[in-house]
A and B are shown apart, each in its own frame.
Chain A
């Protein structure tokens, strides 16, 4: 009975070649990485407001940094991070009530969350450019 179907036996998930499902990425990147990264964003934003409180001269320095290529990149990534975290966080809060837990609804809400986050990111960029 050994090797009834050689070569066709199921393989256990191998971590180096295992393709993580979307929901794994939503949890790892969408919630944890964005959340931890936002610590750096908050340091930048707190510094910006401290500079505003310090007066016009120092605020000019902070504003120059935040509107330089580095600042635009950091704030742009922060905007993506905060809205993905925000929308994915709403999914978590809904799950905490015990609803929308089926495999299909979890997958659907991942797409809805990503689409909603994309809309908010675009609106934030528009506000930043137009404002």
Chain B
């Protein structure tokens, strides 16, 4: 007999540990991407194959650069959140844990590469 109420005993022991936080943050990154994606995709498509001078000039513009930065950061986050859910559904045990850690590291790398590249282009190589 422990001197704890049933409520206190199970507090924080739900299967997901963090409640709805992951779900909620994935929705927020999704809402952000509703605004970001069109402003990234169309300049990207229009500049495809335009050559070094034109493409670097396009991404030196503050608007395109800021959108591209927002895109890389938010996509890396949303991508990790989504892949984590998929991995949790289909890969179990240690393999799933290793895969989630690897995914997180790769998504972080993706964001770093994108942010570094955009800042370098925007500030003039």
Contacts and interface: CB of A to CB of B under 8 A. Distances in A.
B86 interface: yes
Interface in B36-74: 37-38, 41-42, 44-53, 55-56, 59, 68, 72
Interface in A22-78: 32, 35-36, 38-39, 42-43, 45-47, 49-50, 52-53, 55-56, 59-60, 63, 66-67, 75
Question: Interface SS of chain B: helix, strand, loop or mixed?
Answer: helix
Contact of B110 (A43, A56, A60, A66): A43
Contacts of B76: 42
A28 to B, nearest CB: 11
A46 B125 contact: no
Contacts of B100: none
Interface residues of A, number: 38
Interface string B22-37: 0000010011011001
Contact of B37 (A66, A82, A92): A82
B79 A56 contact: no
Contacts of B86: 32, 35-36
Contacts of A90: 34
B79 A49 contact: no
A128 B117 CA distance: 22
B105 to A, nearest CB: 13
A59 B30 contact: no
Given A50-B117, A128-B46, 11 more contacts: A39-B83, A45-B44, A46-B114, A46-B117, A49-B118, A52-B121, A63-B52, A79-B41, A79-B45, A120-B38, A127-B46
